[in-house]
Structure 1
């Protein structure tokens, strides 16, 4: 019943981190297989979804470590070609810039950005998922905005 209720969320978050449907399905499947064993580690101190997000984030980190040397976690963050076919050229260009820019950021800032912006989690929820202070999440988002502005200014 837990898998039926949470599989889509597991897959979506994994997809946002690994960037391809096939890899996201592999990560989600690994999580589902391991979830039964990990249920014993759930403490009701946090919401179940927060605990589950942490498992997904850690599984994605493990997946990234297994990838070949030199590849970045989000090198294939999204299928830009599919977006280009469905969106106008200007929108695709903007999205392409965002994906490339995210690839230039540190893993910590990129993970935080995905959870805050794509998953729309609060700073407190992201802090719980990543195991950092809420002020750290706020600082990372500030750094993200600052770096994006700097990169945009440099391209003008």
Structure 2
């Protein structure tokens, strides 16, 4: 006998299965991409910081703003940024509106490395995605994931 409780249970189960499938697909794709040639020069987590800075219109972000966009803890991000700075890929400057605030920006070397890795990374993504999904399916997946992200951001 299926009543309202059975329907709610089915909806919960479907949501959980959908999330697990999405998550496991993302993990499988990321593992494949991380093992590819694009990330031999720089680990994917470090590239993520360079990529995030490259997408910023002002070219500068505070550490906490980067932290909101990457999947790292604040302390891990601080250590990672220290490594990037030592390699000459990012630079810190004092925020003009707040003497205690620190802004991060790509150096010229960081920008060039991000672009180089990014071009190869995009080709690797296409190599994985294009044989698995048609162009229409890719557009539908994009639409659905953007819809899900917008809904979560609205909560």
TM value normalised by structure 1 = 0.28
Q: Max radius of gyration: which structure?
A: 2
Structure number with the higher strand fraction is: 2
TM value normalised by structure 2 = 0.28
